[in-house]
Amino acid sequence: MATSLFVSDTRGTTHRAMAEMNITPLVDVMLVLLIIFMVAAPMVTRSIDLGLPQVPTELVSAKPPHASLTVQADGSVALDGVVLGEPALAAALQELARRAPNTVLDVRVNADADYQAFTTAVAAARHSGLGNIALQQK
């Protein structure tokens, strides 16, 4: 982009300063950029068809069943209000897990309950196959 600052007349003797800028290279660059944007614009605005998997609405709105396991102050354990011994509790929880494996088991413990009764009840729940065990504060 070399330009001459001085212009001579036809005789070649008079030199005066040139007051205009040569805009030809500027126009060339602008036309090249215009062509690049005209080619690239359709590629940017193109949409992609995506086939996303759809979840059935009955699966989304269905809430899992809940069961309540309560450890009493005297160490007894009740499943949904029915007091059970340790072997009967393990069998009832296994049956519950077999019937509805997504059941949420809410474990509530009395503040005066024996810690061993609590751990026995939670261990029976874990070994039964239930994966959703929620400890509730009573």
Q: Which domain holds residue 127?
A: 63-137
The pLDDT of residue 92: 92
The pLDDT of residue 15: 66
Pair (91, 30) in one structural domain: no
Pair (24, 82) in one structural domain: no
CATH of the domain at 80: 3.30.420.270
Pair (130, 82) in one structural domain: yes
Task: For residue range 58-73, list pLDDT tens digits in order.
Answer: 655 678 888 999 999 8
Pair (29, 69) in one structural domain: no
φ and ψ at residue 17, rounded to 5 degrees: -75, 140
Task: For residue range 29-40, list pLDDT tens digits in order.
Answer: 999 999 999 988
Pair (128, 73) in one structural domain: yes
The pLDDT of residue 34: 95
In a domain, 29, yes or no: yes
Pair (20, 67) in one structural domain: no
Pair (34, 87) in one structural domain: no
Q: Provide the whole-model pTM.
A: 0.54
In a domain, 79, yes or no: yes
Give the total number of structural domains in the chain. 2
In a domain, 73, yes or no: yes
Dist. CA 125–CA 128, nearest whole Å: 5
Pair (69, 121) in one structural domain: yes
Each of the 138 residues of the chain gets a pLDDT tens digit; together they read 455 555 555 565 666 777 788 899 999 999 999 999 998 888 777 777 777 788 776 655 678 888 999 999 888 999 988 899 888 999 999 999 999 888 899 999 988 888 888 899 999 989 888 888 888 876
In a domain, 52, yes or no: no
In a domain, 45, yes or no: no
| DSSP secondary structure code for residue 98 in this structure | H
Burial class (CB in 10 A: 0-12, 13-18, 19+), 133: middle
